[in-house]
Structure 1
Amino acid sequence: MPPRLIAFLIFPDFQLLDAAGPIAAFEIAERHAPGSYRVRVVAARAGAVASSSGARMNAEAADEADIDTLVVAGGDGTRPALLETSLIDWVRRAAGRARRTASVCSGAYILAQAGLLDGRGATTHWSRTADFRRRFPAVRLEPDRIYVRDGAVWSSAGITAGIDLALALIADDLGEAVARATAQQLVMPRRRPGGQSQFSALVDMGGASGRFADLLDWARARLVEPLGVERLADQAAMSPRNFARAFVREMGMTPAKAVEHLRVEAARARLETADDPVEQVAAAVGFGDAERMRRAVLRAFGQPPQALRRAARSTPAVGG
């Protein structure tokens, strides 16, 4: 079997790590399984393409020949790229011939513009959620996921999530052993300790500017108590209506979603480090019953509580 051709599509003002991170993952996987992959960087025109940082990456002229997996980078340049009809047409044609298609961060906009995400589940960077939904209402956006697979189309969240995506693609091709070895070489976990939710860091920071850090610390210490909008707004010394609006602007999610996230993270920590029954964990973190917790954990991490517990017991530490 010939090596699988992984083609990375870039354009002016692309995000450098969107391409470089996944490229490194496939390069390392090739070392562990020689003959598995061949990587090309392509663009609308051959030559050096400037990223948003100013650093340049050399690209070949885009063609559709022999592509196994098309990966579309994201970055500030996605907005003007959406207006390049010839580029969008090429993506549509290339995806039609490729075995699978993927996007990193706002590269999902390009897939959506090409009609490849209509009726499919997808994700992108959390900060683009409202804009993406407005532009592409036919896409079933899952903004709290690190990556989403829907058939032959994959999408991932912001920047470093492209490496998570690449590891998942490698596991799909070559198995978990090669994906794990690749992750170890990259000095990163095969699966993030926070599961598959991209909101982990955002909630930990208290939002884009940290405005709600103290409030979320307060809520984290009271997870077993009712934490509705009215109570959170009172603690923040704001009216419920103004609080809800400001919270969504800052956090990219509703207060209820943030509280659910805090409870899910607390549940995950208990599931992975203690032997408490699932029902007891659910009560201790404020879910009330095991089924409600199971649904929330499944939404956040893509697997049920018992699977999180088993994975934590079986996953070795990351090596160098």
Structure 2
Amino acid sequence: MGERLMVVVGFEAAELLDIACVTTGLAMANQLGTPDRPYRVSLAAPGGAPIVCGTGLTLHTQQSLERLTGPLDTLIVSGGVGFERAAADDRLVGHVRRLARESRRIASVCTGAAVLAAAGLLDGRRATTHWRFAARLAARYPKVTVDPAPIYIRQGNVYTAAGITSALDLTLAFIEEDHGPELARQVARDLVTYLQRPGNQAQMSLHTAAPAPDSGVVAKVVRHVLAHPADDLGTARLAALAGVTPRHLNRLFTEHLGQAPGRYVRQARTEAAAQLLAATDLPVAAVAARCGFGTTESLRTAFTGRYGISPARYRATQQRRPTGG
């Protein structure tokens, strides 16, 4: 059957991690699994020139994009701060479009989605990119349905990943598809990462999605909510804690966090439950109680709404087992 030729496309000011997560993950699969169809990983760029990454480090390439021909197993376009220039480069986009026709699987990482979109490869498809650039991608390419939430999305043979380290999740998904879940787990363990995050897991959490509130009142309430998810966190109780009226607290939360206190509390409790599910063996009922959910069913409803999967399924994909010692 031969090797699986996996080509990563880079460009000036590409993101180093977008590239390295893919190349390292695939190389480790070869080392750990000795699959009957090993990966042959190649980095391509216009003219075969070295890539000066956005970090300032330089990567040497193995292929000239212009001279590269298929068939390819997988074509993966990296992202990076230079994505707008790359997406506006007709020659680069044209070669990506040409190679996509000769590839079994097509993918982008982070803002590399803009290159796929410019090539028309995302027209009529749902796709994701880094949450910071999702609105820009949607405005520029109205034929693409941009969803900024998931870590990665598969639509047929086209995959788009959210950004930077989500390239590792995408790579693990490729390894599992190609060689089965056990090799993907081995690679994840050696990389000291999640066994595999579900593709529809949200990109951001409460701890990273928004800057610290400018309002002292909101900051105080947020700290209390995150530290005490099992407490009475009704809006009236939180307003009393902060020394303001419920109406004023609603206004402050909407102004500084873009959501009402009740919605924020629900999200905080769901994320607290996710952490306990991944890090402990507590029964789901105990997790629900510790995180302020009255019943396991209310936890399941909130969890499915947030992550798209049940608490039990989330635990199965997230939990790291002790390795002894």
Question: 2:196 maps to what in 1?
Answer: 191
Give the one of 303, 308, 311 matched to 2:309: 303
Show the 5 A alignment for 1:62-101.
62=65, 63-101=68-106
- Deviation, 1:102, is 1.1
Q: Look up the equivalent residue of 1:101 and give its one-letter code.
A: I
- Deviation, 1:41, is 0.5
Q: Look up the equivalent residue of 1:113 and give its one-letter code.
A: A
1:58 paired with 2:66, answer: no
Q: What percent identity do the matched residue pairs reach? A: 32
Question: 1:7 maps to what in 2?
Answer: 7
* Residues 87 and 93, structure 2, Cα contact 8 Å, conserved in 1: yes
Q: How many angstroms apart in 2 are the aligned matches of 1:122 and 1:184?
A: 28
* Residues 283 and 289, structure 1, Cα contact 8 Å, conserved in 2: no
- Deviation, 1:93, is 2.1
TM-score normalised to structure 1 length: 0.81
Question: 1:264 maps to what in 2?
Answer: 270
Deviation above 6 Å: which 4+ runs of structure 1?
A: 234-239, 253-257
- Deviation, 1:171, is 0.8
Runs of at least 5 residues in structure 2 that lack an aligned partner in the other structure:
none
* Residues 196 and 318, structure 2, Cα contact 8 Å, conserved in 1: no
Which one has a bigger Cα radius of gyration? 2
- Deviation, 1:261, is 3.1
- Deviation, 1:319, is 9.0
* Residues 151 and 162, structure 2, Cα contact 8 Å, conserved in 1: yes
SS of residue matched to 2:21: helix
Question: 1:31 maps to what in 2?
Answer: 31
Show the 5 A alignment for 1:280-295.
281=288, 285-286=292-293, 290=297, 293-295=299-301
204-213 vs 91-100, which deviates more?
204-213
Q: How many angstroms apart in 2 are the aligned matches of 1:209 and 1:83?
A: 36
- Deviation, 1:189, is 2.3
- Deviation, 1:180, is 0.9
SS of residue matched to 1:54: coil
- Deviation, 1:259, is 4.4
C-alpha deviations, 1:28-86, integer Å up to 9, x for none? 10112334100011112112111111111122211232211111111110011111112
Q: Look up the equivalent residue of 2:225 and give its one-letter code.
A: A
C-alpha deviations, 1:83-123, integer Å up to 9, x for none? 11121222222222211111111111212222222332322
Runs of at least 5 residues in structure 1 that lack an aligned partner in the other structure:
none
1:148 paired with 2:153, answer: yes
- Deviation, 1:11, is 0.4
C-alpha deviations, 1:222-246, integer Å up to 9, x for none? 5764459x979x6999786675354
Question: 2:282 maps to what in 1?
Answer: 274
Q: How many angstroms apart in 2 are the aligned matches of 1:260 and 1:69?
A: 40
SS of residue matched to 1:99: strand
Q: Look up the equivalent residue of 1:247 and give its one-letter code.
A: L
C-alpha deviations, 1:237-288, integer Å up to 9, x for none? 978667535435xxxx99777544323213334555322449x938953587
170-179 vs 128-137, which deviates more?
128-137
What count of residue pairs does the alignment treat as equivalent?
309
C-alpha deviations, 1:1-41, integer Å up to 9, x for none? 11111100000000111101210000010112334100011
1:138 paired with 2:140, answer: no
Q: How many angstroms apart in 2 are the aligned matches of 1:136 and 1:295?
A: 34
Show the 5 A alignment for 1:161-172.
161-172=166-177
Question: 1:247 maps to what in 2?
Answer: 257
Q: Look up the equivalent residue of 2:292 and give its one-letter code.
A: V
Question: 1:207 maps to what in 2?
Answer: 210
Pair 138,311 (structure 1): closer, same or farther in 2 beyond 3 Å = same
User: What is the alpha-carbon root mean square deviation over aligned residues?
Assistant: 3.7
SS of residue matched to 1:39: strand
Question: 2:42 maps to what in 1?
Answer: 40
Pair 238,41 (structure 1): closer, same or farther in 2 beyond 3 Å = farther
- Deviation, 1:187, is 1.9
Q: How many angstroms apart in 1 are the aligned matches of 2:100 and 2:114?
A: 14
SS of residue matched to 2:47: coil
